[in-house]
């Protein structure tokens, strides 16, 4: 399937644009699940000013969505109409430390931010070492693991609004909740500053090794997956509810509930976005029938079926 190519019109309306506009770009390759249709337009801004210029000049009836490295995304098979924005590491991937503060661009990988913090003896950011996303995704999702989450270490984030204006959000402004932020969904985060605690380097390295061992032994990290599919309901573990409902290993088409960790869905090779989403909905129904508890998606689903 393909969408009408609107990139010539966009280029004509934005003569000073420096970033790259591509029509009908596959999104499957940009996500961990490796499924889904194309983006009508994929825009890679040259830098923050270029992103602001693009948004300020983009007609308001064109939908916009931003993706990180797609470690928490199911892209539906019909793809995404409008513009999908991807921040390139070259322009948005820097990470540096000073004192007890780490500054990172939104395209910096969480793992890299943990490394930069560790190299400067800054503790408290070790949990980032095990999360395979970007800082942009961490800000949107309040990513967390092994007892820490983004909310615990964020000082402030910057982002660009749909009209191209720049905003700064304090930790309180981010309205963090479990695996989400209350900031308007149209905001595209571009950078963040985190505060840790100066800590003994060996203790930080030991903690990072623990985080890595936990991943390797408990999660199917080498599969095509999207991480935890459902949020843990208050007082429950999603995986236990899924296991109790008999869903471990359940398959629909090329999608399967992981045998290793049953809150993870995997693409065994030829799954479609529809297979994965249908499997997730089937799991939700079975858990509801078995326990009366409703699971809520943690993974973001985007695009048209
Ligand atoms: C094997 C595996 C293990 C995982 N383990 C964990 C874990 O332990 N803890 C955890 O919290 N998560 C985990 N995840 C999920 C995922 O890594 C996190 O949610 C991560 O923060 C997503 O980042 P991303 O860059 O991949 O974002 P995407 O998956 O690309 O996008 C996720 C959401 O963030 C938004 N977004 C992305 N970039 C920006 C931006 N710059 N500005 C605004 N919004 C943006 C997207 O629009 C989307 O809504 C795991 C995933 C996998 C595959």
Catalytic residue check, 210: no
Residues in the chain where the model's pLDDT stays below 50: none
Burial of 56 (0-12, 13-18, 19+ CB in 10 A): middle
User: Which amino acid residue places its CA nearest to atom 14 of ligand 1?
Assistant: 227
> Quick check: CB of 45 below 6 Å from ligand 1?
no
Question: Residue 220: what pLDDT?
Answer: 93
Helix (H, G, I), strand (E, B) or coil at 86: strand
Inter-residue contact 28 to 35 (CB < 8 Å) = yes
300 alpha carbon – ligand 1 mean position (Å)? 9
Nearest CA to ligand 1 atom 2: 227
Verdict on whether the full-model pTM lies above 0.95: yes
Residue 259 in tokens: 């045998």
Centroid of ligand 1 to alpha carbon of 98 (angstroms): 26
Residue count (the chain)? 305
> Tokens 């304090």 belong to which residue?
170
The dihedral sign for the CA sequence 100, 104, 110, 114: negative
Distance CA 66, CA 139 (A): 13
Q: Is 263 in the pocket of ligand 1 (CB under 6 A)?
A: no
Query: Quick check: is 258 catalytic?
Result: no
- Could you say which of 48, 149, 277, 298 is catalytic? 298
Does the C-beta of 225 come closer than 6 Å to ligand 1? Answer: yes
Chain position carrying tokens 């991807």:
86
Q: Are 106 and 93 in contact (CB under 8 A)?
A: no
Would you state the pLDDT for residue 1?
75
Domains of the chain, each with CATH number or no CATH: 7-90 (3.30.43.10), 92-217 (3.30.465.10), 222-302 (3.90.78.10)
Structure confidence by residue, pLDDT tens digits, 11-25: 999 999 999 999 999
Dump pLDDT digits (tens) for 72-118.
Answer: 999 999 999 999 999 999 999 999 999 999 999 999 999 999 999 99
Rounded Cα gap, residues 71 and 14, in angstroms = 31
Q: Which of 179, 207, 284, 286 is catalytic?
A: 179
- DSSP-derived letter for residue 130 is G
Residue with tokens 């924005």: 85
């Amino acid at each position: 399937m393909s969408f009408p190519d609107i990139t010539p019109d966009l280029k004509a309306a934005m003569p000073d644009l420096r970033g790259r506009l591509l029509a009908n770009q596959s999104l499957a390759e940009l996500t961990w699940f490796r499924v889904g249709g194309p983006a009508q337009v994929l825009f890679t801004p040259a830098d923050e000013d270029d992103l602001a210029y693009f948004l300020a000049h983009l007609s308001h009836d064109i939908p916009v969505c931003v993706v990180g490295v797609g470690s928490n995304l199911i892209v539906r098979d019909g793809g995404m109409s409008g513009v999908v924005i991807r921040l390139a590491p070259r322009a948005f991937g820097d990470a540096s430390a000073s004192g007890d503060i780490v500054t990172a661009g939104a395209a910096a990988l969480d793992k890299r931010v943990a490394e930069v913090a560790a190299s400067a003896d800054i503790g408290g950011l070790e949990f980032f070492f095990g999360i395979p996303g970007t800082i942009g995704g961490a800000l949107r999702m309040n990513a967390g693991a092994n007892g820490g989450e983004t909310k615990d270490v964020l000082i402030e984030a910057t982002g660009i609004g749909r009209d191209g204006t720049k905003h700064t959000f304090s930790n309180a402004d981010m309205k963090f909740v479990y695996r989400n932020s209350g900031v308007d969904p149209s905001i595209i985060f571009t950078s963040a500053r985190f505060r840790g605690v100066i800590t003994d380097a060996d203790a930080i390295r030991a903690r990072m090794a623990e985080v890595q061992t936990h991943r390797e032994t408990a999660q199917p990290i080498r599969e095509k997956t999207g991480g935890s599919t459902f949020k843990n309901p208050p007082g429950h573990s999603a995986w236990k509810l899924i296991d109790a409902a008999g869903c471990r290993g359940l398959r629909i088409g090329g999608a399967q509930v992981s045998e290793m960790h049953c809150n993870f869905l995997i693409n065994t090779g030829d799954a479609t976005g529809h297979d994965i989403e249908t499997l997730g909905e089937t799991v939700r129904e079975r858990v509801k029938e078995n326990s009366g508890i409703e699971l809520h998606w943690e993974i973001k689903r985007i695009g048209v079926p």
